[in-house]
Amino acid sequence: MITRRLVLAAALLPGALGSVAASEPAAFDQAAFEAAQAAGRPILVEITAPWCPICKTQRPIIARLAREPRFRDLAVFEVDFDGRKDVVRALNARMQSTLIAYRGRTEVGRSVGETQAEWIESFLEKTL
């Protein structure tokens, strides 16, 4: 049975996925996140804060990796730790600088405070 949510996600899919470019994170949007999950895309959710030095270190590493051809389908969503407490709680994130990796609807990894480029790269490979 086709649900209204599935029909809505399918209708929004082209626009929602187009707005989630691999090279730049998109502010977390529940509908776009669910559409990316339904499409089976590799997804990275970044829990960040503008005052967080670890987040500032992670950001350029993730941006560089997301531009690589093998991560071209990666959807990157950014969640403001201070401003989006509802999403932070829903994702069960305890602190900023948390990275959550998904392959479609399945969470495949979680990391807190990692700043080594090689480790972040191998973490993102779990989404493929």
pLDDT in tens, 40-85: 999 999 999 999 999 999 999 999 999 999 999 999 999 999 999 9
The CATH number of 4-125, from 3.90.660.10, 3.40.30.10, 3.40.630.30, 3.20.20.70, is: 3.40.30.10
Sign of CA dihedral 96, 102, 35, 70: positive
What's the pTM?
A: 0.79
In the structure encoding, which two tokens stand for residue 22, read together?
């691999």
Q: Report angle CA 87, 92, 95 to the nearest 5 degrees.
A: 85
pLDDT value of position 25? 78
Domain segments of the chain as ranges: 4-125
Share above pLDDT 70 across residues of the chain, in percent, rounded to a whole number = 81
In the structure encoding, which two tokens stand for residue 29, read together?
């949007």
